Amino acid sequence: MAQAYDSDVTTDSGDKPQGSGANGRFGRFRRYWAFGDGMWRRGIVTAVLAVAITVVMAFHGAVPNRVGNLGSLLETFLPWLGLGLPVLLAVGLLRRSATALIAVLLPTVVWLHFFGGLLTDKHTGGGDLTVVTHNVNADNPDPARTAQALVGSGADLVALEEIPAGKVAVYESGLKARYPYHARLGTVGLWSRYPLSQVRPVDIRLGWVRALRATAATPHGKVAVYVAHLPSVRVKFNAGFTAGERDRSADALGEAVADEKVPEVILMGDLNGTMNDRALANITSQMRSTQGAAGDGFGFSWPAGFPTARIDQILVRGAEPTDSWVLPATGSDHRPVAAKVALP
């Protein structure tokens, strides 16, 4: 006679919610999309990163400056976001992910829209005036060699920034053979093959002189020349991108250039900012960058050993850039930048 017994084996249905665990909704989503098979399901993380880079580049102007000047910091190194694109492309190819490869096209198109023009040769030849600007660095160990290199550039006008008082005579001696005319105010100076007049300091709201204005009487007419060294910026852990003083000086310099009566204007100097930086908009909105108009490449000038940003600028108004380039290092922590311009 068969006898029924209660089984001691019990089945634990568990207390986990239905959507959790390896077999839950999240687990299925992760396997299906992030790690699943199929060229459309693989590479979702790579695609998300590509879209994020696209948004940051395309809408960099929307990144606020209220917190640590984050927007200006991003814009200073904006071209370097492109370094992530080959990495994402390689991952997409390795994963054989159509989704990732299509997504990588988005930041590539945006990057080329912003910076692709800098990679083409825009030299047009000719030009009436060759100009050079150089932050010579107050701690330059060999100012005589720096002066010699600047003479060798063949420039008609040479603007210098960060000239220490104790080395003024060295630069004057090294440059006087080619440049019989010069003007120096504070820590900036202008050396010229042509007569200079109407030299005056430019108030950039610092309390001391780091900018000047002069009229150069060139064979092609008078040119108003500005030489400026805007305040330095720093990246600090507790304060972010400290650029407030630079920003105020940039606004003041832009106002001075806007008030200039001479039609042909050349601005040279260490602006401690790139042409992408919104803080320089008061200047860039009314002047053209010679590098953007006539160079080939990014023209990075700082730091001299491995340049990562172009913060030394030559900008013009009422003149046409025909060439732009960067000179070899001279012993300063900046590299000199040069340009040719055609005057009316």
> Tell me: the pLDDT tens digits for 140-186?
999 999 999 999 999 999 999 999 999 999 999 999 999 999 999 99
CA proximity to 311, closest of 194, 230, 241, 217:
230
| Domain membership of residue 71 as a residue range | 25-118
Q: Given a cut of 80, is residue 340 above it in pLDDT? A: yes
User: Which pLDDT does position 9 carry in this prediction?
Assistant: 44
At 288, list the tokens.
């053209």
Return d(Cα 256, Cα 157) in angstroms, integer. 21
pLDDT digits (tens, 9 = 90+) for 92-148: 999 889 999 999 999 999 999 999 999 888 888 889 999 999 999 999 999 999 999
User: Which pLDDT does position 28 carry in this prediction?
Assistant: 57
Q: Which residue has the tokens 């330095």?
A: 232
pLDDT digits (tens, 9 = 90+) for 219-263: 999 999 999 999 998 776 555 577 889 999 999 999 999 999 999
- Same domain membership, residue 310 and residue 251: yes
Whether 36 and 45 have beta carbons less than 8 Å apart is answered as no
Domain count, the chain: 2
User: Which pLDDT does position 7 carry in this prediction?
Assistant: 44
- Same domain membership, residue 34 and residue 163: no
Q: Is residue 9 part of a domain?
A: no
User: Which pLDDT does position 233 carry in this prediction?
Assistant: 87
- Same domain membership, residue 41 and residue 127: no
Q: Is residue 265 part of a domain?
A: yes
Q: Is residue 6 part of a domain?
A: no
Name the DSSP class of 328. P
CATH number at residue 217: 3.60.10.10
Q: Is residue 240 part of a domain?
A: yes
CA distances from 191 to 129, 237, 254, 315 (A): 14, 40, 23, 18
Q: Given a cut of 50, is residue 10 above it in pLDDT? A: no
Mean per-residue pLDDT of the chain: 90
Last residue of a domain, one of 118, 144, 167: 118
Phi, psi of 276 (to 5 degrees): -85, -15
- Same domain membership, residue 163 and residue 63: no
Q: Is residue 255 part of a domain?
A: yes
168-175 helix and 143-152 helix, angle to the nearest 10 degrees: 30
pTM: 0.84
Whether 211 and 283 have beta carbons less than 8 Å apart is answered as no
At 262, list the tokens.
């001479």
User: Which pLDDT does position 239 carry in this prediction?
Assistant: 53
- Same domain membership, residue 338 and residue 193: yes
- Same domain membership, residue 156 and residue 74: no
Last residue of a domain, one of 67, 97, 118: 118
Q: Given a cut of 70, is residue 208 above it in pLDDT? A: yes
- Same domain membership, residue 192 and residue 56: no
Q: Is residue 234 part of a domain?
A: yes
The DSSP H or E segment spanning 27 is helix 25-29
Q: Is residue 264 part of a domain?
A: yes
Last residue of a domain, one of 83, 118, 153: 118
Q: Cis omega before residue 303 (within 30°)? A: yes
